[in-house]
Structure 1
């Protein structure tokens, strides 16, 4: 049985532009404009899902995508770092940031480790693999990175080396345990992202 799962990364927000850990910031005006322009480029699907984050819900709405919220697709829980910029956290807790970026099991922010996050997304992807046809989900970029890492069997440090621009589609096709990945296709053409 072949399954297709398309993950669409959420549109830009002020938090993303500032390299700020998400704190429920909505999509910014430029992101909304690009998402609305890309609405016709979202492929048809038997199932449509959205991460519970504000930015993802805003993006799905702007894409005219009626979608079911899926808690398992929430972004990485960064605990007490939520709302701070990476520079702010690095200035206050430099050793903790280094541990977090180099040790996939580390969660110095009292949130979720990269390993646990990748495992959570992998479990969701395996569940989605049992469904035939196409599924589309609007998610945070780190959800896409975690799915790529697990689908390709890449080492967890690769998580930090995958760029996922706003409003790009990454497609997983195949079946549980054997995925093909087509990454980073801009929605609505080359200048949509």
Structure 2
């Protein structure tokens, strides 16, 4: 049995445009319009899931997906940094940001470490591989990074070196504990027949 997982990054939001740690806000009008235009461009899934965050749920809805929020697919918990910009945190806690970006086990911001998140998403991927058919998941960019790390058996130290643009699809296919990867396909309007 070959399992297929398509991971879709959310549309643009004010927090993304401001390099702000996700604050639970909505996608913006441009992002919503682009997602609606791309509706129908994804392969037909057996299952549709989403990160529980508002921007992922809104992106899924704009794409025409009746996706179920899955708590295990939540974005990275950044503790006390939530809702602050990276510039603000870097100015107030430069050493902490340095540790966070270079040590996957660091979590002194009071949230989750990158390593812990990669392990959490890796466990979800294991369960996804045990199911038949395609799963489409609209998830936070860091969930996609963690999935790539887990699928390829990479060190969590590469996490921050993986860029995930808005409204792109990263596709995993695999069986027997092995995944193949297709990175960052931009979602586009479906072609007319």
Residue 154 of structure 1 aligns to a residue whose secondary structure is coil
Runs of 4 or more above 6 Å deviation: none
Partner residue of 2:45?
A: 45
1:20 counterpart = 2:32: no
Partner residue of 2:84?
A: 84
CA RMSD of aligned residues (A): 0.8
Partner residue of 2:154?
A: 154
How many residues of Structure 1 are paired with residues of Structure 2 in the alignment?
189
1:48 and 1:96 mapped to 2: Cα distance? 37
Query: Offset of 1:177 from its aligned partner?
Result: 2.2
1:39 and 1:19 mapped to 2: Cα distance? 26
1:158 and 1:43 mapped to 2: Cα distance? 29
Q: TM-score, normalised by structure 1?
A: 0.96
Residues 4-44 of structure 1 show CA distances to partners (whole Å, capped at 9, x for unaligned) of 00000010101001100001110001100100000020210
Query: Offset of 1:114 from its aligned partner?
Result: 0.2
Query: Offset of 1:176 from its aligned partner?
Result: 4.8
1:75 counterpart = 2:63: no
Unaligned runs of 5+ in 1: none
Alpha carbons of structure 1 residues 176 and 20: separation in structure 2 relative to 1, 3 Å: farther
Partner residue of 2:94?
A: 94
Partner residue of 1:35?
A: 35
Query: Offset of 1:110 from its aligned partner?
Result: 0.5
C-alpha contact 1:126 1:176 (8 A) present in aligned 2: no
2:135 and 2:101 mapped to 1: Cα distance? 31
Partner residue of 1:10?
A: 10
Which deviates further from its counterpart, 169-178 or 61-70? 169-178
2:159 and 2:3 mapped to 1: Cα distance? 23
Residue 40 of structure 2 aligns to a residue whose secondary structure is helix
Q: TM-score, normalised by structure 2?
A: 0.96
Partner residue of 1:169?
A: 169
2:100 and 2:187 mapped to 1: Cα distance? 32
1:23 and 1:126 mapped to 2: Cα distance? 29
